[in-house]
Chain A
């Protein structure tokens, strides 16, 4: 379980997250929506400790992410992350991209790491690209590579930061399908997304962020059909 209590985050004078309280249960799929600059990406970075926080707590399976003695590198193995810019490592083949962290972080042997990598790449439909370099892949394929790379750490949670918004429209579908597949398999997921169809169909709950606060959270039917907040309604009217 991920528990977030009274989370505050500032960049200099800019108060980006203003007291977030949120719990995500095992197996749940949470979509996070909201306008640009509302703090969605920052929330994810605070969850896996890529950004320090100013107040509050983030607890993952009982471990306080930002506490002093916490081994964040170990914790991050539980928290796979996929970024908007797909970030393939350009100097490594597709297989090496995925096998590297299992080998040097999880400590698997070369052969084990390659097996894990090949399995995850097959899972996201890249089984025939193992020896290609990322620059030979389309954006959609590179984003699926990024998903496989995160999955190869056998994480308990997956954080998606607008995984499809840098993609050409015709490539969005293949990545969303992969994310759907993960959700069906029971992966716990927090998905920052602009894909309202995905948020409505796949998530258990949808959270709407507005200027650094979580304005509203609830099942998709509530958020999309019967939003309580004026801000939520206005945002949804604009994106549709």
Chain B
């Protein structure tokens, strides 16, 4: 017999706290993405243009980030470094773990993007007297950004959802906060149902904003 009684009141009372935790989630995801984009771009360029140790390092990064569970990556920055006596705050652990993961995935997206810009574009730019740096900044990278725009948006959504792993290392982002309240009140289902709605809203806002920005950025 189904005799669970729903109690929404405690959830609604802590809604402001949950929304605040949602902001923490969004903040850490945005920061991780910002760092991830810069690092991912660097990793992609290294893998495309360099040989030797730096390239091995970049390849190892990409391989590990993409082929091991994101949770283990967080644990590495938490318990792994902790074992060596290097204790990071939960916030830093999540930021570092997410950045590591996002940079790895984005590096592959960027690499594909660079390969999708035809060499003839570079030749044409160089034939006009542009330097290789000018060619990259003015011709190649703008086209790459267009190619990786949707993958970046997807990665941003992933970063938000993935940050929920933060609760495993004691970080009070949206999921951690929810668990905290839920375990205090035992209204576990209600809390996580409401939190799911908040995640959903955050993701929808990101997708909508991304679509609006694309309209402004890409006129072609």
User: A residues touching B (Cβ–Cβ < 8 Å)?
Assistant: 48, 50, 73-77, 79-81, 83, 85, 87, 89-91, 93, 100-101, 104-106, 133-135, 146, 149-150, 153
Contacts and interface: CB of A to CB of B under 8 A. Distances in A.
Nearest to B220: A133
Given A90-B143, A90-B220, A91-B146, A73 B129 contact: yes
Mostly, the B contact residues are helix
A207 B160 CA distance: 64
Interface of B: 118, 120-121, 123-131, 134, 138-139, 142-143, 146, 218-220
Contact of B220 (A50, A80, A91, A105): A91
B126 A104 contact: no
Contacts of A106: 129
11 contacts: A50-B123, A73-B131, A76-B128, A79-B127, A81-B124, A87-B118, A89-B121, A91-B146, A91-B220, A100-B138, A135-B220
Contact of B120 (A77, A87, A135): A87
A101 B130 contact: yes
Given A83-B120, A100-B138, A104-B134, A91 B129 contact: no
Contacts of B131: 73
Given A90-B220, A101-B128, A85 B120 contact: yes
B118 A104 contact: no
Contacts of B123: 50, 83, 87
Contacts of B220: 90-91, 133-135
B152 to A, nearest CB: 16
B120 A101 contact: no
B129 A76 contact: yes
Contacts of A77: 128-129
A104 B218 CA distance: 22
Nearest to B218: A91
Contacts of B218: 91
Contacts of B118: 85, 87
A135 B143 CA distance: 14
A83 B129 contact: no
B142 A91 contact: yes
Contacts of B139: 89
Given A48-B127, A76-B128, A87-B120, A105 B142 contact: no
Given A105-B134, A133-B220, A153 B129 contact: yes
A134 B134 CA distance: 21
B219 A83 contact: no
**Pairs of residues from A and B, 10 with the lowest C-beta to C-beta distance, nearest first:** A87-B124, A101-B128, A133-B220, A81-B127, A76-B129, A105-B129, A77-B129, A73-B129, A91-B142, A85-B120
A76 B120 contact: no
Nearest to A75: B129
Contact of B219 (A50, A89, A101, A133): A133
A4 to B, nearest CB: 18
A105 B130 contact: yes
Contact of B128 (A91, A134, A149): A149
A98 B59 CA distance: 39
Nearest to A98: B128
A100 B137 CA distance: 12
Given A83-B120, A104-B134, A105-B134, 16 more contacts: A73-B131, A75-B129, A79-B127, A80-B127, A81-B127, A85-B120, A87-B118, A90-B220, A91-B142, A91-B143, A91-B218, A105-B129, A133-B219, A133-B220, A135-B220, A150-B127
Contacts of B143: 90-91
Contact of A50 (B121, B127, B134): B127
A150 B130 CA distance: 12
Most A C-beta atoms less than 10 A away, residue of B126, B127, B142, B220:
B127
A233 B216 CA distance: 57
Contacts of B142: 91
